[in-house]
Structure 1
Amino acid sequence: MTEDTSSPTPLTLLGTGAMGTALARAWLAAGHPVTVWNRTPARAEPLAAEGAAVAGSAAAAVAANKLVIACLLDDASVGEVLAGAELSGRDLVDLTTGTPGQGRARAAWATERGARFLDAGVMAVPPMVGDPASGAYVLYSGSSGLFEEHRDTLAVPAGVRYVGPDPGFAALHDVALLSAMDGMFAGITHAFALIRGEDIAPREFAPLLVSWLTAMAPAALDTADRLAGGDYTKDVVSGLAMQVAANATLLRTAEEQGVSTELLTPFMGLMERRLAAGHGAEDTTGVIELLLTGDAQGLSDKP
């Protein structure tokens, strides 16, 4: 079942912060009737001028439409805001940033109250919302029926990617991607620290850095292939033994440049541990095993 795209679906949006406002404007621009609510009413007033209906309470906003979208501060805020609302028969989509465990718990909470539920992870910042060329997308997990029925509406502000019926998967994908981004930012930070104070213009260095990181990014595909196949030595070009030996040059260069190595040494330490365990022919895929707790290790061993 899908929506009748000839008549834009009305929806309720709870939360009109920077992201909520961007989402609301995208839906309004596409002709969707939008009811909004915000804990601080003044923050919803600009949207009223653009055609949104402003509800006096969260419960009234929920009552206005079947499709209810929450974009609030945190998971606790979702529970507080919806505590007095009648959710039976509603389709609740939670765009609030949270953890996989919170997504699963919120799904059970919504189901107990008679609502279908989708959790979401927004892979965008507000300026990217509503711009098809920005590459923005939102990860969804939970009720497949809800997703299919409202796919066209959900796709208005940003691309949509359904990652499975487990309500925790959207948050898990979101945090995994953000964690990789943080690691990249750490590398960028260290790289610029190395050239700081030298006669190297950051603006001239930056394109080299971007092109190098872009060239290296497909290594994630090789890691996935090795994890799936279980052979961490498959098609390895730079083995762990070689990489650990090369780390000495990275550390020595940082010392010469007067740069702290604190962004590098945690990962290097893991590489050394894996090498010491006799895995010099692998690449860094095996380091993943060192990051898993006992429970996670057990799960990873399952076919």
Structure 2
Amino acid sequence: MTQNAADAVSRTPLTPLTPLTPLTPLTLLGLGAMGTALAGAWLAAGHPLTVWNRTAARAEPLAARGAAVAATAGEAVAANRLVVVCLLDDASVEEALAGVDLTGKDVVNLVTSTPGTARARAALVTGRGARYLDGGIMAVPPMIGVPQAGPYVFYSGSPELFEEHRATLAAPADARYVGADAGHAALHDVALLSAMYGMFAGVAHAFALVRGESVDPRALAPLLSSWLTAMTGSVAATAGQLAAGDYTEGVVSSLAMQVAGVPTFLRTAEEQGVSSELLTPYFELMRRRLDADPARHGVEDLTGVVDLLRG
């Protein structure tokens, strides 16, 4: 650089640096296993955090990391506009928020609930001057704050609240908005968990069948996992048939054929000394659907069982 150029640079006024936008402060009510994981993720992301828990000692490790600890739920709510609730159950939420001024607050409830309860709470909270989001956490505590583990949370309720706080809510786990109806996060949550328990039921039955035989369950496990993974393709097919109203679209194994095979499953269970109680209810629904109109329903997929469940 020439001397003239250096002099010119030295005379050029420096452009002041634009200060970083401060991260949104928030309050968290509840420090169970999930609440503690959420708190840790928000602190790690740099969010100013106020916490409250009925058992105050649970807040001590978070206080050591910089969290402010409130003596009461009311004090914690007053500290910040954004208030996240992660308590034990619905009764705990009602007790913690009883008599607390919610005017101007943004309340996000992450307690697993029913769609109806979520809608009722939304009405109560908005009636007290706050905006409301309900959430359904699709993760276990060790997944929180670990993006590669794939954690996410369903949110429903105030779209304005969600858009304003999306980045903050996404710090511990991906934030997925499923609509303005406050009950839809709980609905999605329970729908996915219900499918999970159905899978667990099938897995339990499978392991029970080989229990007592010279079959190492550790050898069966990868076969079972890969088979279940392959079968997940049927989920999209079922959704397409429901949307189209045509349960014969793309059928690979008809209802009639599958019902014909049921006795083999039941006899195998009997031979192995295994109760069929985990499978029998589904088999009975299949039979009912077929018996209602064999000619029409026999060529369908299993999708018609959905209609039977709705009565």
TM-score, normalization by structure 1: 0.94
Alignment of 1:264-303 (within 5 A): 264-278=279-293, 279-293=297-311
The corresponding residue for 2:260 is 245
**Does structure 2 retain, via aligned residues, the 8 Å contact 1:119–1:171?**
yes
Cα displacement (A) at 1:198 = 1.1
Determine what percentage of the aligned residue pairs are the same residue.
69
SS in 2 for 1:36: strand
SS in 1 for 2:133: strand
SS in 2 for 1:12: strand
Cα displacement (A) at 1:5 = 7.6
Cα displacement (A) at 1:256 = 1.2
Separation in structure 1 between the aligned mates of residue 233 and residue 179 of structure 2, nearest angstrom: 24
User: Structure 2 counterpart of 1:280, which letter?
Assistant: G
User: Per-residue displacement from partner, 1:112-140 (whole Å, max 9, x unpaired)?
Assistant: 11100000000001011000011110000
Separation in structure 2 between the aligned mates of residue 261 and residue 60 of structure 1, nearest angstrom: 54
Separation in structure 1 between the aligned mates of residue 21 and residue 281 of structure 2, nearest angstrom: 55
Equivalent residue in structure 2 for 1:23, among 34, 38, 47: 38
**Does structure 2 retain, via aligned residues, the 8 Å contact 1:5–1:152?**
no
SS in 2 for 1:9: coil
Cα displacement (A) at 1:45 = 1.5
The corresponding residue for 2:219 is 204
1:254 aligns with 2:269: yes
Cα displacement (A) at 1:6 = 2.8
Cα displacement (A) at 1:144 = 0.4
Separation in structure 2 between the aligned mates of residue 285 and residue 56 of structure 1, nearest angstrom: 53
Alignment of 1:4-83 (within 5 A): 6-83=21-98
TM-score, normalization by structure 2: 0.92
SS in 1 for 2:256: helix
| Alignment gaps of 5+ in structure 2 | 1-18
Separation in structure 2 between the aligned mates of residue 211 and residue 166 of structure 1, nearest angstrom: 37
Cα displacement (A) at 1:191 = 0.4
User: Per-residue displacement from partner, 1:74-110 (whole Å, max 9, x unpaired)?
Assistant: 1121111011211000000000110000110010001
SS in 1 for 2:262: helix
Equivalent residue in structure 2 for 1:122, among 129, 133, 137: 137
The count of aligned residue pairs is 290
What's the RMSD between the two structures over aligned residues?
1.1
Separation in structure 1 between the aligned mates of residue 82 and residue 197 of structure 2, nearest angstrom: 34
The corresponding residue for 1:171 is 186
User: Structure 2 counterpart of 1:46, which letter?
Assistant: P
1:155 aligns with 2:173: no
Separation in structure 2 between the aligned mates of residue 136 and residue 62 of structure 1, nearest angstrom: 26
User: Structure 1 counterpart of 2:116, which letter?
Assistant: G
